[in-house]
Amino acid sequence: MAKSNQFNPIIHRHYWPYLRSATRSGCIPDDKLSGDAASVDIATPQNLRRLKEIGAALLKKTESRVNLDTGKYEEIEGGRTNEAALAKFAQFLSEEKKYRQTN
């Protein structure tokens, strides 16, 4: 796991509860990336296609959250897909923006 991701569980634990949702995590974790797919510096057409495939597969998975005791990601029992969770979060952000613009 990259160092930039090491603080995400801490941030999520303290920030997201203020949005009134215990399951909203703000990211779709995948700690199994390796090789070129795990690098942000390799933008070859082949790697970008592979990342697109990985992203599409992640959207179909059940949403997960980090277990703060083990540091491992675990699927949420009875959870929706990451795609559905992302759509709901996008709707929340849209409503929040409208609210802030009117107040």
Q: How many domains does the chain have?
A: 1
For 76, the domain range is 3-102
pLDDT, position 18: 46
Query: Minimal CA–CA distance to 74: which of 14, 25, 33, 6?
Result: 25
| Mean pLDDT computed over 86-93 | 89
Is pTM, for the whole model, over 0.75? no
Per-residue pLDDT reduced to its tens digit, 33-76: 888 888 878 889 999 999 999 999 999 999 888 788 888 888 88
With beta carbons less than 8 A apart as the criterion, state whether 34 and 42 touch: no
Nearest one of 59, 70, 74 to 28, comparing CA atoms: 59
**85 vs 27 pLDDT, higher one:** 85
